[in-house]
Amino acid sequence: MDNDFASCQNFSNGSSTSVHSELPPCTKTKKDNNQDKKSEHGSSPQCSNIITSSTTSSSTTISLGALHSDTQCQKAAEHEPPHIGYELSVAKSVLQQYSTLSGDNLFDHLSDIVKRVVDERPPNVIDFFEEFSRNVREQKFHVPERFPPNGVFADSRMFRPAKKILHSIKLPHNIEGIDFGGEEDLPSEEAFTYGDGDLRIDLDDSMRLFVTFNERVEQLQFFWNQCGFSISKDDIFQLASSINRLQTHPSIMQCRFWGCINGLKGSYYIVEASLTREELNSRMAMMEEEMREKQLPFKMRKNQEQKPLPTHIGPELTPGVYGWETYALEDLEKMTPKAEPVPLAEEIEFYDIPPENVGLGCNRYSYFVVNCLYNDWIELPIVTPRQIVVSRQIKKFFTGDLEADVVSYPCFPGKEKHYLRAMIARITAGTHIAPQGYYRRMTKKEKNLFDGINLDEEEEVEEEDNYNEGEEEEIQDNDVMLMKNERFEIEPLSSLATPVAWVHCRPNILNQGRVVWYDEEKARKEREKMLALYIKSRLLEEMEEEIEEEEAEGEEEGEEEEMLEGFTHPETGPDILSSCASDMSRECAFPWLVRFTSRYTNQKERLLVLQSNVWPGAFTFVFENTCESVYLGWGHKFCQRNIPFKHLAIVQEEFPHQADDFIEATDPTLEDELAYKNWLLNKQKRDVSIGEDINEYDADDLDDIYDNDDNDD
């Protein structure tokens, strides 16, 4: 403080040559602190001028150099050598020698340190003296007064996120006035559009029955806090408001916070949402079309595409007309060469089990993720069985970038967003649990209502269903949406403190990667049949013959075969609503941990927490009527030691061959080539001499040879 003040003074005076053995009166009025010191030092008049000058010296560096020598001369003149004042000034001059490197001097530094120690009184400063001294030196040039405030100003780190958050909140201006105005207007508008409104309300009502998600994040946060897991307090408000933003989207029926998966560079906040019926239907239509196309046997798809022709006409590819040599070059270029098409790498058909439709099985809910809560939600793609199957064989860190590649073996079909989606599906299937009786299956009536079937058609459809799919009903059963049981009785928590009392409330995913088993064998047969039919029809088109009778016979045979062979046992897994006690895992002996939030003190209001050991980070809590599952973790399944990664396949041989297939020969040397050329020339000469009739022909031949050479180059 003193220093700065002194420096200010210097600047104001314009010249620092005057030694401030006493401070001018104006300073005393300004600084009490300064004054105090002054008075302290006043007791020892000998030292007073030294200390005051030190305060100036620390700030003015160059001017003082001159000044210092002046004072010394003066003092020398005043006092004889053995004098305390003289000794002091000598010592001071030693201390005040300027460093040639930094331009600093020890005297200033020491006085700065002393001042800082006296001002700030740091504890145990002697222990950290070096560090402290370093600090003082560092900060010497960071005193805010030294720089004009608008000299250099770098953006603060916090600035950008702060700006983004503000931007995401987007307050409507003049909220009160407009809002109230709007409300007042509302009744009249309603009166006009009552008819429409009525319809809409009707639709909404039918779906409202099926809202089972608890989307009130801030309320849940309270419970999570009690349980000892949660996301950060600051984030929860933002999460609530951004979920609210999502919820108001017209195509979303209900949504809930699913959890948070850590990534290396950023974590994903995930929201589970179910879409409205209209949205589902439109998506389903799109998806079905796409699937139908994909279901087509590969060759059928491939045949519809044009195969590329060779791009240029070389000597070995003759254009499609006999005697083409006579045509002009321009015409030749237009001709299609009569050549074998360019051999392309032949794609082998790779058949995937089709994914479940939007709104069914693994794809029943759609998931929205975001890295930072102030960004917009991004919807994850649907999950395919193959992705689920492969994700079981690999273990990767999430990077926090949805478009990042997943580098793994076996190769994961998709980007990180697909991997994330597959992991979400698996975690959801494994860890969403509820006390027994908390959820119930839908009744038939509700089911129909949910599926959007009108009441009139209902009975017929039901009957048809019964007749047609009577056998499959057992399998279908797993893929249902559960309803909250209205008659759920609140049980004492102590009776729930065992996995026996808990059931899974999301359908199990089969090894196949689907919730509902898909008969691969049958599908394969069907595709073969389709392909056979297709090829036959192509043949028919080309040959236009009538072998229809035979065909019919063939088909019948095929069907019979299918009946015999195609019977495979559907894969089964644990049912939905099966008990958690029967969870089995080779790796994990104790799949569930049961904990009370309060063991000793708060018996009345304690919560029960079940945490999954198979998916570390998955928690479910229950308190009276509230039961929620959430996942906060890395997205890795538990493994005892390390996961058995698949070995790389053995390197394939490039070309299966015998020893005799290739005979090595030495390349011709330059001499050999020259000799060959000479031989050719000689031969030509000889031909010319033999007869002139064949001359033209030979010339053509030679041309061809040269052409060939050119092309090879």
Partner 1 sequence: MNVEYFSEGLECLMYCGRKLSPEQRILIENSLIVLLQENRFSGMYFWGRITATKNDYYIAFGYTNDCLKDRKYFYSLDQYQWQLLPFVQSPKIFQATILAPDPFVGDPSLQTYVKLDPTFNIVDNQVVSISRPEVIKLKEEERLAAIVFIISEESAICPRGALYKMVDGRVIPNQMFRGLNDLQIDNLSYYQLYRLPRNDLKTNLSKRSDYNYAIDFLDTIDGVIPLGQAFSLNMQRNERIAIIKSCVWLGMTFFHKLNSRKHGFLYLGDGRKNFDLLFMY
We find the least distance from the C-beta atom of residue 129 to partner 1, in angstroms, to be 10
CA-CA distance, 321 to 335, in Å (whole number)?
8
Complex with partner 1: residue 165 or 378, whichever CB lies closer = 165
- For the chain, the maximum distance between any two Cα atoms, rounded to a whole number of angstroms, is 139
Choice from 128, 147, 194, 351 touching partner 1 (CB under 8 A): 128
Q: Is 127 or 330 the residue whose CB approaches partner 1 more closely?
A: 127
The CA-based dihedral angle spanning residues 522, 523, 525, 530, taken in that order and rounded to the nearest 10 degrees: 140
**Which of these, 409, 578, 552, lies nearest to 477 by C-alpha position?**
578
What's CA 617's distance to the chain center, in Å? 19
CA distance 221 to 226: 8
* Residues 6 or more apart whose Cβ sits within 8 Å of residue 222: none
CB of 662: closest distance to partner 1 in angstroms?
32
- Our finding on whether 616 is near partner 1 (CB under 8 A) is yes
Site for partner 1 in 547-606 (CB under 8 A): 589-590, 593, 595, 597-602
Choose between 231 and 240: whose C-beta lies nearer to partner 1.
231
Whether 222 contacts 214, CB under 8 Å: no
Smaller CB separation from partner 1, 309 or 411: 411
Which residues between 249 and 268 bind partner 1 (CB under 8 A)?
260, 262, 264-267
Q: Scanning residues 631 to 660, which ones bind partner 1 (CB under 8 A)?
A: 632-634, 636, 639-643, 645
Q: Distances in Å between the alpha carbon of 349 and those of 296, 413, 527?
A: 11, 16, 12
Angle at 165 between CA 259 and CA 235, to 5 degrees: 30
Among 122, 181, 320, 452, interactor with partner 1 by CB under 8 A: 122
Q: Candidates 212-220, 227-235, 289-297, 298-306 — which segment interacts with partner 1 by CB under 8 A?
A: 227-235
Compare residues 192 and 600 and give the one whose CB is closer to partner 1.
Answer: 600
Question: Does residue 506 bind partner 1 (CB under 8 A)?
Answer: no
Residues 364-393 that bind partner 1 (CB under 8 A): none
Cα separation, 387 vs 353, whole angstroms: 10
Measure the CA dihedral 187/193/194/195, to 10°. 180
Stretch that binds partner 1, among 35-43, 159-167, 382-390, 458-466 (CB under 8 A): 159-167
Nearer to partner 1, 206 or 408 (CB): 408
Name which of 162 and 211 has its Cβ closer to partner 1.
Answer: 162
Residues 80, 81, 86, 90, CA torsion sign: positive
Q: Does 228 bind partner 1 (CB under 8 A)?
A: yes
Q: Provide the CB-side half-sphere exposure for 156 (13 A, CA).
A: 5
Number of residues that bind partner 1 (CB under 8 A): 61
124 lines the binding site for partner 1 (CB under 8 A) = yes
CA distance 427 to 494: 27
The answer to the question of residue 623 lying near partner 1 (CB under 8 A) is no
Which of 478, 475, 444, 480 has the alpha carbon at shortest distance from 459? 444
Token pair 């030694």: residue: 19
Measured from the CB atom, the residue of 194 and 409 that comes closer to partner 1 is 409
Find the binder of partner 1 among 225, 494, 568, 684 (CB under 8 A): 225
Least CB distance to partner 1 at residue 517 (A)? 31
Provide the token pair at 417.
């967003």
- Minimum CB separation of residue 413 from partner 1 in Å reads 18
Rounded to a whole number of angstroms, the minimum distance from the CB of residue 137 to partner 1 is: 12
Least distance (Å) between residue 234 CB and partner 1: 6
Site map (CB under 8 A) of partner 1, residues 404-423, x = contact? ----x---------------
Which of 161, 181, 182, 320 lies at the binding interface for partner 1 (CB under 8 A)?
161
Q: Helix (H, G, I), strand (E, B), or coil: what is residue 43?
A: coil
CA–CA distance, 627 with 438 (Å, rounded to integer): 8
Q: Hey, how many other C-beta atoms are within 10 angstroms of the C-beta on 403?
A: 8
Q: Binding segment for partner 1 among 55-63, 299-307, 474-482, 629-637 (CB under 8 A)? A: 629-637
Residue 144 lies near partner 1 (rule: CB under 8 A) = no
| Residue pair 53/41 in contact by the 8 Å Cβ criterion | no
Q: Which is nearer to partner 1, 233 or 569 (CB)?
A: 233
Using a 10 angstrom Cβ sphere, with 0-12 exposed, 13-18 middle and 19 or more buried, the burial of residue 546 is exposed
92, 245, 249, 395: residue in contact with partner 1 (rule CB under 8 A): 395
Tell me which of 22, 36, 131, 196 binds partner 1, using CB under 8 A: 131
Tokens 């933002």 sit on residue: 238
Q: How far is the CB of 7 from partner 1 (least distance, A)?
A: 25
Among 167, 233, 334, 586, binds partner 1 (CB under 8 A): 233
Q: Return the number of other C-beta atoms located less than 10 Å from residue 353's C-beta.
A: 18
Work out whether 135 is an interface residue with partner 1 (CB under 8 A): yes
Q: Which stretch binds partner 1 (CB under 8 A): 80-88, 95-103, 226-234, 424-432?
A: 226-234
272 beta partners:
256, 367
Measured distance CA(418)–CA(414) in Å, rounded: 6
Secondary structure, 3-state, 183-213: HHHHHHHHHHCHHHHHHHHHHHHHHHCCCCC
Site for partner 1, rule CB under 8 A = 122-124, 127-128, 130-132, 134-135, 156-158, 160-162, 165, 225-234, 260, 262, 264-267, 394-397, 408, 589-590, 593, 595, 597-602, 613, 616-617, 632-634, 636, 639-643, 645
